[in-house]
Amino acid sequence: MAELTYRDAVARGIAQEMERDDDVVFLGEDVAGAGGVFKATVGLLEKFGPIRVRDTPISEQAIMGAAMGAAMTGLRPIAEIMFSDFFAVCFDYIANEFPKSRYMSNGQLKCPLVVRTGNGAGSRFGAQHSQSVENWCMMIPGLKVVAPSNPRDVIGLMAAAVRDPDPVIFFEHKSLYATKGEVPDGEIVDTLGTAAVARPGNDATILALALMVPRALAAAEKLKVEHGIDCEVVDVRSLVPLDTQTILGSVARTHRLFTVEENPRLCGWGAEIVSIVADEAFYDLDGPPVRITTPHIPLPAADILEDIALPSVDRIVDRVKRSMNS
């Protein structure tokens, strides 16, 4: 067991898969010599060489096109798009090419690739470099979408993503790169489509993703200590596939549902889950589901304004407390 930062877990997760399978290659802008703009891929070039770890031009379309071609001809590429906001530049590949190749070729072509990207706010990068865009991707049939909240899950979900036969979008939260967590020794492999109960509880279910998981956990502790409200926190981890069994099971035990979402409120992932719960577990609920989200606004760069926009521990506590006491 070792303590790793989230960013070091990224490099370990990629290295684990590159050591296991010579067909795994890694490409992206500044990922090799510089070790990535967030220093999450340091050491991979030295370990695996310039054939398997390649710097690319500053062209998201070129990166995605090269990755797709490599995947269709037998390799298993991991491609980096530096900021998830830049998916807008190469969205044709993400929406129309990767996810539809196997379907449109009747299974003759496969596209086993991973697109990893820095997602989310908290770093004061402004409206074009701070978005949480997981809801952009989860709506597209044929894509799988994951977002780990801790170093151990970075490695396990990376392994699952690389070994999957379909394209997987792997969201790494920029504000989690410096956080630390215990990571077991040896190979770590998870299963896509599995949520994790990060904190058991009896009074309410709080669903969270990525950066919102530690905030939900801190809020749950505060709610228990200060208000006697015992919340179960579920780390969604995988949006597609979605672990409805764990989510619905938690709601059936606690009878209340809250989602904590960094994405803008309109069409966020929590809205889809609330819809599923309303369809399949309506009579388990003792009150209306509540979504705690970022407003439907471009994110500001000013620190105080960005902090106000994002769901905070205090906002989670206040909203849960008011709903439970109403």
Say which residues have a Cβ less than 8 Å from residue 129's Cβ, sequence separation at least 6. Answer: 83, 85
CB atoms within 10 A of CB 108: 9
Neighbour count for residue 69 (Cβ, 10 Å) = 12
Active site residue 173: no
Interacting residues of 186 by C-beta distance below 8 A, sequence separation 6+ = none
Closest CA to 262 of 151, 132, 134: 132
In this structure, are residues 60 and 92 in contact, taking their beta carbons and an 8 Å threshold?
Answer: no
Residues 157, 16: Cα–Cα separation, whole Å? 12
Helix (H) or strand (E) holding 185: none
Of 129, 227, 255, 296, the catalytic one is 129
Counting every residue written for the chain, the total comes to: 326
Helix locations, 210-325, DSSP H: 212-227, 244-254, 269-280, 303-309, 313-325
Tokens at 242, concatenated:
């979605």
What gap in Å lies between CA 27 and CA 18, rounded to an integer? 12
Residues with a catalytic annotation lie at 129
